[in-house]
Structure 1
Amino acid sequence: MALRDQAVFGPGSRGSLDEAGAEGREAAALAAAGVALEDDEEDDGRRGLLRWDGFSAWLHCVCVVGFDLELGQAVEVIYPQHCKLTDKEKTNICYLSFPDSNSGCLGDTQFCFRFRQSSGRRVSLHCLLDEFDKDLPVYLKKDPAYFYGYVYFRQVRDKTLKRGYFQKSLVLISKLPYIHFFHTVLKQIAPEYFEKNEPYLEAACNDVDRWPAPVPGKTLHLPIMGLVMK
């Protein structure tokens, strides 16, 4: 089964880019990053990328936030494990990953938030793709000072817990303000994650790492856990 979703980033205020032009811009960005492109390699938009460079073009990290009556909110998992968050960033994620209005309704809830990122972060590949922002409509331009959090919150009754409920959020942290896109991604991976836990999350992140970079005007086919987003 294939899932089809709009992942076409453009057209911009100066007109849409054709796919050939988009590929040329992507190659230029990779060259600026010092990535060597071999002529005999298949051009899949990922030539020469290092481990997790593909992932970081879309996401900074994925977090799991648990809510405990005695311990309070806590970031239980950060993946990939090498990704760093400051204590202040973790605190912001914890407090913002719980719904503002939770009336005790059971089930799943999706929402998003943004928070200021700490200064002094190392430049990564997705920062080198910032030149593409000028080709995007205003509502898709990212703010370099902020992270965006996309949340899938689950609440179910659990009499074994003092709170009386199992409450946990799966959170995608990104510099990209693609609200509909990331909510669609969460709808595909979050329900399975709550059943299968960290091995499933690791597999999903490995899929994202194989995605080509988000280039305006270029139609992308993005595999995620057996489905393909377009």
Structure 2
Amino acid sequence: MTPIDERFTEFLLESGALKFGDFTLKSGRQSPYFINAGVFNDGRKIAMFGAFYAEKITSAIAGGTLPSDIATIFGPAYKGIPLAVSTSIALTSMHGMEVGYTFDRKEKKDHGDGGILVGMPLKDGMKVLLVDDVMSAGTAVREAVPKLKSVANVDIVGCVISVDRMEKANGSEISAVKAIEEEFGFPVVSIVKVSEIFDAASRMVTVDGKPLLDDDIKTRANEYLAKYGA
């Protein structure tokens, strides 16, 4: 089977989620690539997105990075909601793992079922796996952990993201991923690293047979990672 980094890069390109060029990020940095998980807006795309997460999760379980008895997948609102649902469906239907899904409300509901969470109820000792799209500064994780802990004393066993940008955390020489791992003590697993994306894309061609990445983008990618990479 083709390695997951190549298949996932192809999927990102085909979906329009991955673009190469010149982009200004929220941080103000000029980046030679941009990833937008918001394009996974139909059943086929989000199902495939969740299937890649499920594949990576089962691989991490087999390798001992994640435990096999995960109870629920938590996705932070709003982009994390369809991701948590599609991942839990893929884990159940494709890998025989019966897991729940949970997500948060932006505002606490004081009527009906109430509370700040929707989906599988949390209980003390329950193993919870976080999912997010692209980790830049780790803000979503830092907001999610205390919110989950305020509901129950759950065991947060890790976080799975689509792309590790491999960039330094703010004011640090280590990556945002490494900073989260050190701060919370659980692993952050990525489907693909940005270096693997560029490596895979460098071997791809356009429909008319031209290299997908020209020399200018390759040069700027190397310069970007040399400047901001951890």
TM-score class, shorter: under 0.3
Task: Output the TM-score relative to the length of structure 2.
Answer: 0.24
Q: Which has the higher contact order (CA 8 A, sep 6+)?
A: 1
Task: Output the TM-score relative to the length of structure 1.
Answer: 0.24
